[in-house]
Amino acid sequence: MGPERHVRRCECVLLGRADKLLGLAGIPERFRDCGFAGYDTSHNGSLATAKMIVERWVSEYPLDCVGLLLVGPSGLGKTHLSVAAIRELTKKGVHCLFCDYRELLKRIQNSYDPSSQITELELLRPVFETEVVVLDDLGAQKPSEWVWDTVSFILNSRYNGKQPTIITTNFLDGPSARIEAFDGPRRAAREETLGDRIGERMRSRIHEMCRVVQMQGPDYRDKFRSMSYR
């Protein structure tokens, strides 16, 4: 077998493996084709910087196990960048998993039904064991003690396993109203933060796990309704 044929065979094997890993990543159909090339920063310095940070993180992976927390209002393409990262990582042979935060919590709740064919631990095993996990739209579910306990369970497991996690959220990366001692009218008028939605302890844990990437700008969906940004 000549060198050229050997190289071509290796490339085919790698491409086949990447396609398989991409298929197993659970990316929603709407975002299936999202890549870095298709992420339009529209002359927005904040988004251009965010794209550069995520691309560099992917290119240098796995130099460290610090993940990413993409923070910004709805419609800036946080999900797009996260999926683009998954697509590139699978080309490197990395096992990845996309999890929608609200959908994951709903599936966990459904597993408590006596008629369910899957237990909570069985459902969460891929989240615990997959090398890189995207947790999309963190904080979207109305907070409760159960939600906080479940988020704690997931994030602590990945933290202890030194497993990189890419997290997106539409909420400000700030402390909870309780920590800031806001009450009455001031609390009602205050914009909710990530600390309010997932608890201050888990927000602190995320800061240990992830590098914060702030994103600012107008909602892409107002300008490009046909594009799959979120």
Strand partners, 99: 135
CA distance 132 to 116: 27
Please determine, for residue 8, whether its predicted confidence score (pLDDT) is greater than 80: no
Tens-place pLDDT, residues 176-190: 877 765 555 555 556
Query: What's 144-164 look like in SS3?
Result: CHHHHHHHHHHHHHHHHCCCC
Secondary structure (3-state) at 113: coil
On whether the CB atoms of residues 65 and 163 are closer than 8 A, the answer is yes
pTM for the complete prediction?
A: 0.86
Q: What is the tens place of the pLDDT at every residue in 74-113?
A: 999 999 999 999 999 999 999 999 999 999 999 999 999 9
Percent of the chain whose pLDDT exceeds 70: 83
CATH number of 3-223: 3.40.50.300
What are 105-149's pLDDT values in tens digits? 999 999 999 999 999 999 999 999 999 999 999 999 989 999 999
Q: State whether the Cα torsion 19-221-105-181 is positive or negative.
A: positive
Residue with tokens 């990189």: 164
Domain ranges of the chain: 3-223
DSSP 125-150: HHHHHSSEEEEETTT-SPP-HHHHHH
Q: Give pLDDT tens digits for 35-64.
A: 999 999 988 999 999 999 999 999 999 998
